C-alpha cells in the first residue's frame, strides 16, 4: 500500500489459511488473496469521478492502459514478467458522483487522511457501491468474463483483478475487501468477498487523484507483493523497485530482483562454487543470479537505462541482501502487521537491502537518493567478507557478504566489467556444495534455476530443475576440487 497507510481495526479472525500481500510466503492463495500472476488475465478498471475535483483525463487513461502503449501498464507488466503475464484491461463506464460519496462529517472536503480508522468502513462501502453501479451501467458486460485464470491457469471463480481509479484525494491502497467486508456481498448474503455474476471480488487496487502511476504499484500488491519502502520514514527503503522508494513518476522502475524471482518472472541462476559469468540486462532477459540458499541470500542483476528504467544514468550490477525472516508470514491477517511495522523499516536489517558499491551507507539516511554511478557495482567494484564478524548496524556500517548475524557466508562478488553492449562480466563465489537443491515450486517455468554450477561440471551447469544426475568426475577428484575451492574462498579477489 502506498501514500495511504491505515491503522487496522481488530476484527474477528477468519479461518486460518494463507495471507494477503505476503511476497509469496504462500502461493496457494491465488484467488482468495492474490490475483493470478502468470498467463493471461482479464482485469477491470473502474473510473470514479467526483464533482468538485479535477476531472479524470480519460484520453490519457485509455492510452495508459492500452495494450500497445510502449510505456503503459500492460507493456510494463509484460516486460517485467518476460511475457509470462499478459493482463488485458477492460475499462468500465465512468461512475460519477455529484457530491462526495463519503460521509463528509468524518471526511471533511472528501479527503481521506492517512491513518484514519473510519477509512476502512468507508472504503468497503465505496468499493461495494462502485462495483454494483459498474455492473448495472456497463451494458452487455458480464463480470464472469473477468475470470479466465487462477492458481492452476484456469478459471477459479475469482476475478483476475479489479482496479478503482478516482479523482478524489484518496491516496493509494490495495484493499482486501473480502477479508474486511461484514456487510452486503451483492449476492443476497452478508460478509466475505463481493459476488457479481457468479464470480468473487476479493481485493481491489485503488489510486486517487487520477494517479495512473500509483496504480502500477497498487496493482502489484494484488499479485502478492508487499511494500518495500520504509513507511516509518527513517530512510526511503528499497531503491530500484516499483514496490520501493519510487516517486510514482513516468520513469517506472522494474520490480526488484527478489520480487521478480518470487513471481517467477525471472530467469534465475543459482551459484555454487566459483563462476565467471556474463550477466545480461534484466529488462530484456530477466536474469537473476542467486548466491546462498534458504531464507537469507544475495541476489545480483544487471540494471541500466531501458524502456522503463529510464531514470538510470549508467549501467551496473544491482546487489541485494535478502532476509525473508523479516516480518513475513503466511498466517491469514498478518498483512496488518506489515502495514503497521513494514518489512523494510529497519535500515540496517530490512527484508531487502540495496548493497551499495561505495560502502558509504548513504541510502540509510532519511533523504537518501540512489546514486547510479556510486551505488551500482561497476568496473573494479568488489564485495567480500567482513573479517570482524560483527553484525551490520548503524554502529558497524561495514559493507560485506556476511550474514546479518555477522557470520561469514562464503560469498564474494568481484572482477566486474561493464561492456559497451550492456552485458556485465563478473566472478561470483558461493559455497561449493549444497546449493543446487532448492526450488520455488514443484513444476513450471522458473520453478528451478536455469543453471547451478558445481565443481567438476561443464560450463553449462547442472539443470537443477531436472535433477543433478551423476557427476562427471569421480568422487575422489570432486572432493579434492571442493577442498581447493574452500581454501580459495578465504582469499580476496584481485582485479
pLDDT tens per residue across span 306-347: 999 999 999 999 999 999 999 998 888 888 888 889 999 999
Question: 222, 249, 279: which is the final residue of a domain?
Answer: 222
Quick check: is 242 in a domain?
no
Are residues 330 and 183 located together in one domain of the fold?
Answer: no
Phi, psi (5° rounding) for residue 194? -70, 145
- Which is nearest to 43 in space by CA: 143, 174, 186, 167? 143
pLDDT at 458: 37
Question: 222, 245, 280: which is the final residue of a domain?
Answer: 222
Are residues 321 and 439 located together in one domain of the fold?
Answer: yes
Q: What's the domain range around 298?
A: 264-488
Residue 48, strand partner residues:
95, 166
Per-residue pLDDT of the chain (495 residues; tens, 9 = 90+): 544 433 333 333 333 346 889 999 999 999 999 999 999 999 999 999 999 999 999 999 999 999 999 999 999 999 999 999 999 999 999 999 999 998 888 888 888 765 555 667 778 899 999 999 999 999 999 999 999 999 999 999 999 999 999 999 887 889 899 999 999 999 999 999 999 999 999 999 999 999 999 999 999 999 999 999 999 999 999 999 999 999 999 999 999 999 999 999 999 999 999 999 999 999 999 999 999 999 999 999 999 999 999 999 999 999 999 999 999 988 888 888 888 899 999 999 999 999 999 999 999 999 999 999 999 999 999 999 999 999 999 999 999 999 999 999 999 999 999 999 999 999 999 999 999 999 999 989 999 999 996 544 434 334 444 333 333 333 333 333 343 433 333 333 333
Quick check: is 367 in a domain?
yes
Are residues 195 and 291 located together in one domain of the fold?
Answer: no
- Which is nearest to 112 in space by CA: 60, 152, 170? 170
Reduce the DSSP state of residue 84 to 3 states and report it: coil
Are residues 99 and 182 located together in one domain of the fold?
Answer: yes
Q: How far apart are CA 305 and CA 297, in angstroms?
A: 26
Are residues 416 and 344 located together in one domain of the fold?
Answer: yes
Residue 158, strand partner residues:
200
Are residues 328 and 444 located together in one domain of the fold?
Answer: yes
Evaluate the CA torsion angle 16, 19, 24, 27 in order and state its sign: positive
Write down the H helix ranges in 280-423.
282-285, 335-340, 372-375
Kind of pairing between the strands at 162-166 and 204-207? parallel
Q: Are 219 and 41 in contact (CB under 8 A)?
A: no
Quick check: is 16 in a domain?
no
**pTM value?**
0.89
Quick check: is 452 in a domain?
yes
Q: How far apart are CA 409 and CA 406, in angstroms?
A: 9
Count how many domains the chain has. Answer: 2
Q: How far apart are CA 84 and CA 105, in angstroms?
A: 47
Are residues 169 and 286 located together in one domain of the fold?
Answer: no
Quick check: is 341 in a domain?
yes
Are residues 314 and 388 located together in one domain of the fold?
Answer: yes
Are residues 328 and 191 located together in one domain of the fold?
Answer: no
Are residues 126 and 201 located together in one domain of the fold?
Answer: yes
Quick check: is 13 in a domain?
no
Quick check: is 34 in a domain?
no
Phi, psi (5° rounding) for residue 217? -65, -50
Q: Are 34 and 221 in contact (CB under 8 A)?
A: no
Are residues 85 and 149 located together in one domain of the fold?
Answer: yes
Are residues 202 and 280 located together in one domain of the fold?
Answer: no
Q: What is the CATH number of the domain that holds 99?
A: 3.40.390
Quick check: is 243 in a domain?
no
Amino acid at each position: 500500500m502506498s501514500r495511504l497507510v491505515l491503522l487496522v481495526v481488530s476484527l474477528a479472525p477468519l479461518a486460518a489459511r494463507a495471507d494477503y500481500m505476503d511476497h509469496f510466503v504462500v502461493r496457494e492463495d491465488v484467488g482468495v488473496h492474490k490475483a493470478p500472476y502468470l498467463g493471461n488475465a482479464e482485469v477491470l478498471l473502474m473510473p470514479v469521478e467526483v464533482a468538485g475535483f479535477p476531472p479524470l483525463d480519460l484520453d490519457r487513461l485509455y492510452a495508459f492502459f492500452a495494450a500497445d502503449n510502449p510505456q503503459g501498464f500492460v507493456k510494463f507488466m509484460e516486460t517485467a514478467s518476460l511475457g509470462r503475464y499478459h493482463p488485458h484491461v477492460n475499462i468500465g463506464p465512468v461512475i460519477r458522483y455529484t457530491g462526495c460519496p463519503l460521509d463528509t462529517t468524518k471526511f471533511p472536503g472528501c479527503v481521506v487522511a492517512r491513518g484514519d480508522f473510519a477509512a476502512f468502513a468507508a472504503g468497503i462501502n465505496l468499493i461495494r457501491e462502485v462495483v454494483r453501479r459498474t455492473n448495472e451501467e456497463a451494458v452487455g458486460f458480464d463480470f464472469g468474463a473477468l475470470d479466465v485464470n487462477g492458481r492452476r491457469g484456469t478459471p477459479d471463480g475469482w476475478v483476475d483483478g479489479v482496479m478503482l481509479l478516482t479523482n478524489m484525494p484518496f491516496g493509494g491502497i490495495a484493499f482486501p475487501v473480502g477479508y474486511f467486508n461484514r456487510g452486503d456481498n451483492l449476492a443476497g448474503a452478508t460478509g466475505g468477498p463481493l459476488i457479481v455474476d457468479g464470480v468473487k471480488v476479493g481485493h481491489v487496487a485503488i489510486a486517487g487523484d487520477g494517479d495512473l502511476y500509483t496504480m502500477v504499484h497498487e496493482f502489484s500488491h494484488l499479485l502478492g507483493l508487499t511494500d518495500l519502502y520504509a513507511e516509518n520514514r527513517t530512510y526511503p527503503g528499497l531503491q530500484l523497485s516499483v514496490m520501493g522508494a519510487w516517486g510514482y513518476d513516468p520513469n517506472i522502475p522494474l520490480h526488484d530482483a527478489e520480487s521478480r524471482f518470487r513471481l517467477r518472472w525471472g530467469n534465475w541462476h543459482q551459484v555454487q562454487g566459483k563462476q565467471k559469468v556474463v550477466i545480461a540486462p534484466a529488462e530484456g532477459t530477466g536474469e537473476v543470479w542467486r548466491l546462498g540458499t534458504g531464507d537469507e541470500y544475495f541476489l545480483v542483476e544487471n540494471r541500466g537505462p531501458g524502456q522503463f528504467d529510464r531514470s538510470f544514468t549508467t549501467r551496473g550490477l544491482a546487489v541485494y541482501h535478502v532476509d525473508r525472516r523479516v516480518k513475513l508470514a503466511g498466517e491469514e491477517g498478518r498483512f496488518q502487521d506489515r502495514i503497521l511495522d513494514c518489512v523494510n523499516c529497519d535500515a540496517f536489517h530490512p527484508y531487502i537491502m540495496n548493497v551499495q558499491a561505495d560502502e558509504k551507507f548513504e541510502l540509510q539516511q532519511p533523504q537518501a537518493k540512489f546514486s547510479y554511478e556510486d551505488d551500482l557495482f561497476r568496473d573494479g567494484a568488489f564485495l567480500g567478507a567482513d573479517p570482524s564478524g560483527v553484525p551490520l548496524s548503524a554502529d558497524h556500517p561495514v559493507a560485506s557478504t556476511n550474514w546479518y548475524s555477522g557470520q561469514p557466508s562464503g560469498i564474494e562478488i568481484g572482477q566486474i566489467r561493464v561492456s559497451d553492449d550492456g552485458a556485465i562480466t563478473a566472478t561470483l563465489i558461493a559455497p561449493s556444495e549444497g546449493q543446487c537443491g532448492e526450488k520455488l515450486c514443484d513444476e513450471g517455468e522458473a520453478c528451478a534455476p536455469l543453471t547451478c554450477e558445481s565443481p567438476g561440471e561443464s560450463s553449462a551447469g547442472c539443470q537443477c530443475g531436472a535433477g543433478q544426475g551423476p557427476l562427471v568426475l569421480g568422487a575422489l577428484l570432486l572432493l579434492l576440487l571442493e577442498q581447493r575451492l574452500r581454501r580459495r574462498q578465504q582469499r580476496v579477489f584481485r582485479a
